[in-house]
Structure 1
Amino acid sequence: MNTFGKTIRLFLVDGTPNSLTTAELSNWTGIGIKVPRIKVREFSTRPEFRKPGVYILIGKGDNNEDAAYIGEAEIIADRLAHHIANKDFWNEVLFFGSKDQYLNKAGVKYLENRLHQLALSAERYTINQNTPTRPELSEAEQAELEEFLSNIKILTAALGHKIFESLEETMEQGENNQLVLFCKNGAGAWAKGSPSTEGFIVYKDSLLIIAEQPSLPDGIVSERRKMLAEGIIETENGFYKLTKDYIFTSSSRAAAATLARSASGPLEWKTEEGIQLKHLEI
């Protein structure tokens, strides 16, 4: 499928990134708003706050993990005031509406349901809420809202939150398909992964060495401990086994976590034919 470049216009209302930011796409009737919780009251009389829309409350969960709440409202300002009084976890909100009268109640409820679905599928943020109801809409209405949805997804990422972006969308593609690499050793480590725009993804069911060598950096020791505590890896048959796809910040960090020692990712990660990652990056 062909993709086309897009122009995003960001406007910092107070001239700083710590206040209200508007985001618009060329030839799109929608608008995105990012605003800190402590600034909501200050800007709540702006026209964008007085319209229907969908919103994402962004913050941290009980275990300091990224967390979000997705909702819809006929008047955004009123719903945000309610959440300020009743939800403590969030410190920033993103919301999306229309510069004209395009969005109605059914439309924003449809978008709420689909955004919730995308967030759960991406598995990047904790989403602690029931699945929103999706209204019955015509095929034509759904098609228009899906286009609106795709622009919300783009702007959410551009505003700093990849809550709706799956790991697969960040992966490097080979000449014909997904570029898949392997990291193995004679002790039984076996990991499968792919380069990503965010670092390096190691796939579910990869096997990591448990016994850590003195050369393993302290930061990776801590990350493995955290992964174990959060159930991202679990002990199975003498190895740590990944329970889900996991992204490391670099190929070297992914290789070191797999081999439990200091390691160079460009050398350790190889194709099935034995071609090292370093020869694929040049």
Structure 2
Amino acid sequence: MNSFGKTIRLFLVDGTTNGLITAELSNWTGIGVKVPRIKIKEYNNRPEFQKPGVYILIGKGENNEDSAYIGEAEVIADRLSHHRANTSKDFWTEAIFFGSKDKYLNKASIKYLENRLHDLAIKAGRYAINQNIPTRSELSEAEQAELEEFLAHIKVLTATLGHKLFESLEETIENKTIQNHVFYCKNSLGADSKGSPSTEGFVVYKGSLLIVKEQPSLTYSIRMEREKLLKDGILELQGKFYILKKDYVFTSSSRAAAATLARSSSGPLEWKTEDGVQLKHFEL
């Protein structure tokens, strides 16, 4: 499928990035809004807040993990005000919501979008989503097709507004020169990781085996990252190795290699194709 360039218009309502931000795509009737929790009362009389839509509450969970709650409302302002007063959902610091500049969205369509956004967020696995699965509306095939296009725009704008909540790690593997190659990082001690370069760094895939015993050359920051992965359950001790329980993105191929080999490492040299070709040959 061909992809086309998009023009996104961001408007900082009070001239700063700490206030209300609206986001629009060319030739789209929808609109996205990002607002800090502490400023919702200040802005909730604006017309964008008085319409139906889907919203995302974003913040940190009990273990400082990225967390989100996805909902729908016939009047966004009323629902956000309710959440501000609800101490049981006190984790969030900002909200992003999406509505329509015309009367395109109704109760059935926002229920459909809520369910699909929840599904995308769970599959992406980037944020903790602690809520029940929303009910999906029964819609015609034509209505679903239209809303899937609306959904695609929501996904783009959510990432543009700073949260890749709905984007899987697989989608960040964009470089067509190396996309068809899986790279391996192994050694004689039994380390066995596989991964791919990503627009965010380097993705190491679920099931990879990492050396447990750390060498003196391993940097403090990577030691701490491995420790956090263990604490979060992303790494798990399995015999003489740590096993990666889900796909994980490191900020560079060298960090990914060092985390695997438990020593200072050069990613472009350590990561190789099945045929033994080093990653550096693909980056020239």
TM-score normalised according to structure 1 size: 0.98
Which stretches of structure 1, 4 residues or more, deviate above 4 A after TM superposition? 173-177
Secondary structure, aligned partner of 1:9: strand
Give the aligned partner of residue 56 of structure 2: 56
Give the aligned partner of residue 231 of structure 2: 229
Secondary structure, aligned partner of 1:2: coil
Kept in 2, the 8 Å contact 1:224–1:257? The answer is yes
- List aligned pairs for 1:15-164, cutoff 5 A: 15-86=15-86, 87-164=89-166
**Cα drift, residue 179 of structure 1:** 2.7
Secondary structure, aligned partner of 2:197: strand
Compared CA separation, residues 188 and 172, structure 1 to 2 (3 A): farther
Secondary structure, aligned partner of 2:70: strand
Distance 2:179 2:229 in 1: 29
Distance 1:160 1:187 in 2: 40
Letter in 1 for 2:269: L
Secondary structure, aligned partner of 1:256: helix
**Cα drift, residue 186 of structure 1:** 0.8
Letter in 1 for 2:83: H
Secondary structure, aligned partner of 1:132: coil
Give the aligned partner of residue 165 of structure 1: 167
Q: Is 1:256 aligned to 2:258, yes or no? A: yes
Give the aligned partner of residue 12 of structure 2: 12
**Cα drift, residue 136 of structure 1:** 0.6
Give the aligned partner of residue 212 of structure 2: 210
What are the ranges of 5 or more consecutive residues in structure 2 without an aligned counterpart?
none
**Deviation digits for residues 20-47 of structure 1, max 9, x if unmatched?**
0000000000000001001100000000
What are the ranges of 5 or more consecutive residues in structure 1 without an aligned counterpart?
none
Secondary structure, aligned partner of 1:14: coil
Letter in 2 for 1:81: S
Letter in 2 for 1:266: P
Distance 1:210 1:195 in 2: 24
Secondary structure, aligned partner of 2:158: helix
Give the aligned partner of residue 183 of structure 2: 181
In the alignment of these two chains, the number of paired residues is: 282
Compared CA separation, residues 176 and 219, structure 1 to 2 (3 A): closer
Give the aligned partner of residue 192 of structure 1: 194
Query: What RMSD over aligned residues (CA atoms) do the two structures have, in Å?
Result: 1.0
Letter in 2 for 1:106: A
**Cα drift, residue 172 of structure 1:** 3.8
